[in-house]
Amino acid sequence: MAPHHFALIDEDVGEYDTNFKMNPPLRSRSDREALIAGLADGSVDCIATDHAPHAFNEKNQEFDRAPFGITGLETALGLAISILHVRNKVGLPRIVELLSAAPARVMSLEGRGTLARGAHADVTVFDPAKKWTYHAAHSRSKSKNSPFDGWQLQGKVVATVVAGRIVSS
């Protein structure tokens, strides 16, 4: 499941803003609540961003002609903590599992998604209390197609370690 499916509903599309055009499309409030319950109780295995960047000109056209997809990597953790943890009381250990160990298990990625001895040293360090505002214009992605521009989020990545080396902080 992608974060935009537990964060948004079909009504959020509004006046056919193409930043809300994704596949599968957004569903009803009751569908979103069922997805959140599934994430909390283990019925849903993992969270994946479905990061689908598009050039401005691709998304800046009629809704029916615009491609499906949004950027999702930079907002995934903040949405998970803000919506799942803060608003819906899903525990932080479950959120970490949904974003790391569970996807690695589903994809059969040996030594990934764990801090076990001998595992790959790929780690995201985050502050679950840090509040911040997402601005698409400041995104590190080459694309800016996000429905979360201007959203206040909680839970911020403070460092990323890949193969034992700090690559961002």
Contact 160, 124 (CB under 8 A): yes
Range of the domain at 155: 3-168
DSSP three-state, residue 55: coil
Name the pTM for this structure: 0.93
* pLDDT given at position 46: 96
- Write the pLDDT tens digit of every residue in 145-163: 999 999 999 999 999 999 8
Active site (catalytic) residues = 50
Q: How confident is the model at residue 104 (pLDDT cuts 50, 70, 90)?
A: very high
Helices (H), the chain: 3-7, 29-41, 56-59, 76-79, 92-99, 101-106
Q: How many domains does the chain have?
A: 1
CA distance 123 to 114: 9
Domain of 148: which CATH number?
Answer: 3.20.20.140
For 13-61, write each residue's pLDDT tens digit: 999 999 999 999 999 999 999 999 999 999 999 999 988 889 899 999 9
